[in-house]
Amino acid sequence: MASRNISVSETSRPKLPRHAKLKFDETRQVWVILAPERVLAPDEIAVEVLQLCDGVRSVSDMAEQLAVKYAAPREAILTDVIAMLQDLADKGFLTEARENTS
Amino acid sequence: MSDTLAGNKTATAGPADGLAVLEQTRSAAETYGIPLAVLLEVTHRCPLQCPYCSNPVELDRGSTELTTDEWKKVLSELAELGVLQVHFSGGEPTARKDIVELVQHATDVGLYSNLITSAVLLTRDKLSALADAGLSHVQISFQGNESGVADRVAGLKDAHRKKLEVAKWTRELELPLTVNAVMHRQNLHQLADIIQMAVDLDADRLEVANVQYYGWALKNRAALMPTIEQIEETSRLVEEAQVRLKGTLAIDYVVPDYYALRPKKCMGGWGRQFFNISPAGKVLPCHAAESITGLEFESVRSNHSIAWIWQNSEAFNRYRGTGWMPEPCKSCEFREEDFGGCRCQAFALTGDAGNTDPACALSPLHDEIFKQATRESARAENRFLYRNFAGGTLETDDRQDKRQDKRDGA
């Protein structure tokens, strides 16, 4: 059963669960997350992070990638990404890949 | 098309998570964007006979229902318009043999689908097929927390056990689950247990909805109307549970507006952010709207597009905004907040959908209706008039006696 209480760390390999769908809404020209009874509007940074959540990449890899792209300190990005993903996980919109390789 | 969607405003980004809930807030200019979600009542057929059924008194017969191809066309059109979510509802949506095909089509055109079900017709295979077709959320109605009360209210033997079983399958298939609990005088004493049942079922959300009294439910008002003491206890229980279960179970609470001072902002205001499609294809501002006689509703079978019906049809524009309002609404400072309450309730209780909803303390009829409800709740006339295609069946004395025996024995 999908755990609702995952703890996001550097080694987590998060992905969106089946019931949370990231999609570009052509009509309103915004990114949305479709969830039960709700439509969420992630900001640009959230969209960028969520697109990296494929259940394969670890949070650490994601921070690495973003640090290179934005020429920003990895540690600061890692802290922000973990906080954002944890919040999303607490709301039930993030899960972890099945096979735990960590 | 762009101007018809101009009213959709994106809420500003939220705090830490960079997420905002997309709200259908409106600018002062009266433009009505296409809703984010649409309710599809694919059939009025239902194995349950709940006395508070929210479908209109005149049910659509199976023979008048839209065909599979017609529903598919509707789904494609909705997706093109910018609708993001659809709720498959009824009646009992799984009474349609093509429900998996319809959910699959919704997925194919990019719609997020939700099933609002009584669950009693579902097998594990069927639910699994629905999940594979892309179903993303299941809402199951419960009539109580144990078979005695629940099966009596539903008017169907073994319904409660079946619902519990389907709820378990739902979570096994990793689908999010919402428990819908419709509350009234004869099951409010089970509320604490219903909340615990939702936790035990690993539900994500619980809707505690007090019965709304129009359509069929109005016929059973005397048997369903809660007492003031029950309502006070309910609010206390829900508030306590909302705090205690934060992060485990989200609880939405719909108060019974008979006991409120202000009316509910029904449907977010008529024709502002919601429409549904009836089994026969009528596009409606509310699933109870057909109870209002004298309003003509356009059908998806007409020559008009859904966008045109939403934007231009007489029924949608009749009670949009504030221009239609009589006093005391017209000069009321809250007119943009509640839009005069519920049109269906105004029609059911005053005979004119254009009157102020009597749930509002400012309505000249409020006191009279409130007193009547209080009297009814105290009379303890508990016999149900069940809802079915036969035109309704009065609960037998025999059944009531059994219930009484059970209670005495317990």
Q: Which two tokens stand for residue A62?
A: 């994601």
What is the share, in percent, of chain B residues with pLDDT greater than 70? Answer: 89
Helix/strand/coil percent split, chain B, to 5: 40, 15, 45
Angle at B9 between CA B8 and CA B10, to 5 degrees: 125
Answer yes or no: are the C-beta atoms of A15 and A88 closer than 8 Å: no
ipTM greater than 0.95, yes or no? Answer: no
Phi and psi torsions of B305, nearest 5°: -80, 165
Which amino acid would we find at residue B266? C
Cα–Cα distance, B410 to B407 (Å, whole number): 5
B98-117 residues touching A, CB cutoff 8 A: 110, 112, 114
Question: For chain A, how many helices (H) and strands (E)?
Answer: 3, 5
Rounded Cα distance, B188 and B61, in Å? 33
Contact between B18 and A84 under an 8 Å Cβ cutoff? The reply is: yes
Partner residue facing B22 (CB), from A17, A39, A83: A39
Q: Which residue, among B141, B121, B152, B289, has the nearest Cα to B220 in the 3D structure?
A: B152
d(CA B199, CA B158): 22
Assigned token pair, B66: 């839209």
Which residue in B10, B136, B176 is closest to A30 by CB distance?
Answer: B10
Chain segment B75-129, per-residue pLDDT in tens: 999 999 999 999 999 999 999 999 999 999 999 999 999 999 999 999 999 999 9
Query: Two tokens at B197?
Result: 């049942």
| For residue B91, cis peptide bond before it (omega within 30 degrees of 0) | yes
Res B302: pLDDT:
95
CB contacts of B204 in chain A (<8 Å) are 4, 36, 92
Residue B401 exposed, middle or buried by CB count within 10 Å (0-12, 13-18, 19+): exposed
Put simply, the answer to whether A36 touches B176 (Cβ < 8 Å) is: yes
Render pLDDT for B294-325 as a digit per residue (tens, 0 to 9).
899 999 999 999 999 999 999 999 999 899 99
Chain B hits for A34, Cβ within 8 Å: 84-85, 112, 136
Which of B287, B280, B292 has its CA nearest to residue B60? Answer: B280
E strand intervals along chain A: 14-15, 21-25, 30-35, 38-42, 95-96
The stretches of B210-280 forming alpha helices (DSSP H) are 216-219, 221-224, 228-244
Residue B89: phi and psi, rounded to 5, are -140, -165
Give tens-digit pLDDT for B208-247: 999 988 888 989 999 999 998 999 999 999 999 999 998 7
Task: List pLDDT tens digits, range A62-86.
Answer: 999 999 999 999 999 999 999 999 9
pLDDT of B187 higher than 60 = yes
Phi, psi of B9 (to 5 degrees): -105, 140
Q: What is the residue-wise DSSP string for B296-318?
A: ---BTTSSS-HHHHHHH-HHHHH
Beta-carbon contacts below 8 Å between A and B = 94
CB-nearest partner of B10 from A19, A41, A45: A41
Q: Is A58 exposed, middle or buried (0-12, 13-18, 19+ CB in 10 A)?
A: middle
Count of C-beta atoms within a 10 Å radius of residue B305: 15
Q: Which residues does A contribute to its contact with B (CB < 8 Å)?
A: 1-2, 4, 17-19, 21, 23, 25-28, 30, 32-34, 36-43, 45-46, 83-84, 87-88, 90-92
Residue B22: the pLDDT is 62
Q: Which of A5, A19, A44 to mutate to test the interface with B (most CBs of B within 10 A)?
A: A19
Question: Which candidate from B18, B84, B112 shows the least CB-CB separation from A46?
Answer: B18
